[in-house]
Structures are given as structure tokens and as C-alpha cells.
Amino acid sequence: RRAAAAALAAWLKMTEAVATGRTTSGVEASRGEVLAVAQRVVPLAGQGLADADAAVRASCLEALQNAGQLLKVLVSDARDDLP
């Protein structure tokens, strides 16, 4: 459970890096793809907040924080696209 929770946090962190172009791999993702990742990960991380293991809860909270940061990036990018 600890590894799975940590993977959720890492998944969103990597998704943010891809969304902002901060990867060396050249991988890109559309807003829709980025949102799809967040939509799948956030409910799982939310479930983990009720886990008996504090390390699992901490990783799930980190995942939710990463999701918030990711959404901030998307909103900021969308605002830049406005006329």
C-alpha cells in the first residue's frame, strides 16, 4: 500500500512535468490527457487518506497536493490562451 500511494504522488508529479514541458524526453500531453490522469488518481488518493498507515496517508496527501499544483498549472496556461 505504501508503494502504491507513493506511486500516485509520483504519477501526478511527473504529469505536471510533462504538462509544463520540464522533461528531457520530449514527451508532451494535451490538457485533456493531463486532466484524465488527475481524474483517475485523485479519487484513489482520497481513499488512501483513510488508511490506517500514516505513511500511506502522507503519500496520498502529497498526491492530492500534486493534483492541486497540476490544476493550477492548467488554469494558468488556459488563462494565457485567452484573448
SS (H, E, C) the chain: CHHHHHHHHHHHHHHHHHHCCCCCCCCCCCHHHHHHHHHHHHHHHHHHCCCCCHHHHHHHHHHHHHHHHHHHHHHHHHHHCCC
Question: For the residues 45-70, what does the mean pLDDT come to?
Answer: 97
pLDDT band at 81 (very low <50, low <70, confident <90, very high): low
pLDDT at 65 over 90: yes
Nearest to 1 by CA among 46, 64, 48, 63: 48
> Between these two residues, 34 and 82, which has the higher pLDDT value?
34
CB 67 within 8 A of CB 38: yes
Q: pLDDT tens, 3-54?
A: 999 999 999 999 988 888 777 788 888 888 999 999 999 999 999 999 999 9
